[in-house]
Amino acid sequence: MHKTTWVELNSKALRHNANTVRRLAPHAAILAMVKANGYGHGAEWVAEQLHDIVDGFAVARPSEAFSLRSVRPQDRILLLGTEINEALLRDCAAHRLDLVIHDIDTARLLANTTLSKSVTVWLKMNTGMNRLGMSPADFTEAHHLLSTQGHIAAIHHMSHFSDAETADASITQAQYQTLTALSSSLGDVPLSMANSAAIIAHPSTHLNWVRPGIMLYGDDPTCTLPSNQSLQAVMSFKAKVLAVRDIELGEGVGYNRRWRATRKARIATIAAGYADGYPRQALDGTPVLINDQRAVLAGRVSMDLLTVDVSHLPHVKAGDTATLWGDKLSAAEVGQHCNTISYELFTRITQRVERFYLPN
């Protein structure tokens, strides 16, 4: 098949990363984050690769949950914090979805809604992120209210760390103590707080359920994993070199000629741009691999093309393969040059980019 701009998705790397989670948190169940279409990797594909390693999956939108349920009829699926009404509660029950309850009004609505099947709820407490989650008083009220309802199959308690990737552990420990202290006063309830960063850097916070996200896809947000436990890139974003040209001292490249040659130079034009998901804000000097050798961006990213200085790579030619991020060039490193993070790079890949799933 003809390929111009594509991503390769490595199931062996994905499973390696999930097994790394299992090694790091051997006593916790694993709820794999597959929201945003599996961080841009394909939620259904991720679930198919990991269903025998992890204990469930989590998504952020009802449409994601219903789509995943259609292909994973038996797996635990948690719908994270979203707008909830009576119709959605009934749909969640019918599709056997676990449900995050993040405010007292929704807890009251759930208590007063007749459901066809009982549901498992995860009560979310705000411990400092200040996005979603209940105050201690509302959390306590919600727990007591729902624990008496016959259509509630089980209750879990959860929160979300705001600073788990930072070297200072004091905020993470304070947030952990806030949830666990209140939860213990309400009984013996399964608990979940640890995201990828906490799984790696704060093993005391693993509790009953861990919720890995970005680490499943190959990025260590703490940059602390030893080499023998390193994660592997699941996505490699690649494109063909379309042209190579020589330019003279002082000539510019691309829109507004942002990059200008300070010497005679060779410029490779690559078939990827912001319409494919490559960040338009990428700065000159952003690394690119061509035939596994490093080069750097030279000029503004346009809709379909980007340009790279290959003056030091005399053998680069049209038809060669460029890797924009992947196994030997991390998305995290590229993100540092673009004032963003790997999460955004992964999720912004557009539909026109072909996807190839590598065999195990």
Which pLDDT does position 84 carry in this prediction? 95
pLDDT in tens, 195-220: 999 999 999 999 999 999 999 999 99
Q: Which amino acid is at 32?
A: A
Q: Which entry of 35, 124, 238, 240 is annotated as an active-site residue?
A: 35
**pTM of structure:** 0.95
Average confidence (pLDDT) over 183-204 = 97
At 303-321, the pLDDT tens digits run 999 999 999 999 999 999 9
Over residues 33-69, the pLDDT tens digits come to 999 999 999 999 999 999 999 999 999 999 999 999 9
Architecture category of domain 11-219 in CATH:
Alpha-Beta Barrel (3.20)
Domains 11-219 and 235-358 share a fold: no
Q: What pLDDT sits at residue 359?
A: 80
Angstrom CA distances, 278 to 65, 198, 243, 275, 324, stand at 28, 29, 19, 7, 8
- Residue 227 has what pLDDT? 82
User: Contact 77/68 with Cβ under 8 angstroms?
Assistant: yes
CATH superfamily entry for domain 235-358: Lyase, Ornithine Decarboxylase; Chain A, domain 1 (2.40.37.10)
Which pLDDT score, from 0 to 100, does residue 329 have? 96
| Predicted pLDDT of residue 275 | 98
Q: Does position 360 have pLDDT exceeding 80, yes or no?
A: no
Coil, strand, or helix at residue 180?
helix
Q: How high is the pLDDT of residue 1?
A: 54
Which stretch of DSSP H or E encloses residue 139? Answer: helix 136-146
Cα separation values, 161 from 134, 189, 287, Å: 14, 19, 32
| DSSP structure string for 12-24 | HHHHHHHHHHHHH
The pLDDT value recorded for residue 354 is 95
Report the pLDDT averaged over residues 150-165. 96
pLDDT at 293 over 80: yes
Break the chain into its structural domains and give their ranges: 11-219, 235-358
Q: Where are the alpha helices (DSSP H) in 75-114?
A: 86-94, 104-111
Cα angle 4, 316, 252 (rounded to 5 degrees) comes to 90
Active-site residue, selected from the candidate residues 3, 12, 117, 255: 255
Closest CA relative to residue 176, chosen from 121, 138, 129, 214: 129
pLDDT given at position 67: 97
Among this protein's residues, is 255 annotated catalytic?
A: yes
Share of the chain above pLDDT 90, in %: 96
Q: How far apart are CA 265 and CA 258, in angstroms?
A: 15
pLDDT band at 229 (very low <50, low <70, confident <90, very high): confident
Average of per-residue pLDDT across 323-344:
96
More confident residue, 76 or 360: 76
Mean residue pLDDT across the chain = 96
Selection from 205, 204, 202, 181 nearest residue 192 by Cα: 205
Q: What is the pLDDT of residue 3?
A: 87
DSSP SS3 for 85: coil
CA-CA-CA-CA torsion sign (335, 339, 344, 348): negative
Note the pLDDT tens digit of each residue in 69-128: 999 999 999 999 999 999 999 999 999 999 999 999 999 999 999 999 999 999 999 999
pLDDT of residue 167: 84
pLDDT over threshold 60, residue 190: yes
Q: How far is CA 202 from CA 83, 164, 170, in A?
A: 31, 8, 11
- Classify residue 255 as exposed, middle or buried by CB count within 10 Å of its CB (0-12, 13-18, 19+): exposed
